[in-house]
Structure 1
């Protein structure tokens, strides 16, 4: 039954104000393609694909075991994949982001959850089916990352919508021990 499965992924949800700024900047590039909805802007940490709805609680438990620190992400590079995906990325991926991904992958793998075998590459998708890249674009977006989330990708008449299922705060440098999920 279709309602028994969800298409899931862990991600950093882009804060609304930052997402609006990125969307405005993207529009100023005047590039063809299908824009990712402003409300859907995110940076994927781990794509889980189709999962039984009953497994959501297990995913939440695995994520609640992650003890990673908050960090600042500077998106300053515009790139384009061969398939036409235009994206923003950091020139230098913060070590704390890599540690967060490593902990998530480790926890998910220990629960026998199949993950993509490609190496993690931090990026925020901007446009799909973009045939070209802006040559003179100079992105510069600062993102203070303080939480990560589990999302479900849902289809509706307007396309994809990413629904946040659960969020976990990241530790500040001065924090130790446990924290509560929101």
Structure 2
């Protein structure tokens, strides 16, 4: 019988200073289920549930992918209305971000896996669920994104909800 992992994803993970700034912007939200400060991340590829034997290859991706730090300016609240998700996003997405995502999706370890490769990439950091964005200015956050991670969703009511399986500072 094949054992499976939890829900896996690759993401850029902020440092503590950026996480604190995201938590400050999150404070303006009314109600909802707020993201724990240690769970803030920008998903590059959501892999879903994968076979346990794929983990060593996926961990290697973090070490092998060409990746340099990039400046991301989070400067706005956004919302996925249907899902009632409020997020922090960018007015100008640097070219390097979708390029990093493309390189990631082209890695041989991912090519062998079955998962949904979303065509529309909306780079964002989830701030809360089951709420709406505030009608106020978002004070910009300058994030030097230098940490790439493979993470797993712990599921349930665990806090923080995500566990880093591999992580690399560029």
Same-fold status (TM-score > 0.5): yes
Structure 2 SS opposite 1:155: coil
> Please, which runs of 5 or more residues in structure 2 have no aligned partner?
none
Give yes or no for contact 1:34–1:129 (8 Å, CA) kept in 2: yes
Deviations 1:7-47 (Å, cap 9, x if unpaired)?
Answer: 110001121221122112311x1412110111101100100
Displacement after TM superposition at 1:156 (Å) = 4.8
* Inter-partner Cα distance in structure 2 for 1:101 and 1:141: 21
Instruction: Classify the secondary structure of the residue corresponding to 2:93.
Output: coil
Which is higher, the Rg of structure 1 or of structure 2? Answer: 1
Other-structure match for 1:68:
67
TM-score normalised by L of structure 1: 0.82
Compared CA separation, residues 30 and 149, structure 1 to 2 (3 A):
closer
Give the secondary structure class of the aligned counterpart of 2:133: coil
In the alignment, what sits opposite 2:165? 165
- CA-based RMSD: 2.1
Greater RCO structure (CA 8 Å; 6+ sep): 2
Instruction: Tell me how many residue pairs correspond in the alignment.
Output: 168
Tell me if the contact between 1:46 and 1:115 (Cα under 8 Å) persists in the aligned partners. Answer: no
User: Is 1:14–1:42's contact at 8 Å kept on the other side of the alignment?
Assistant: yes
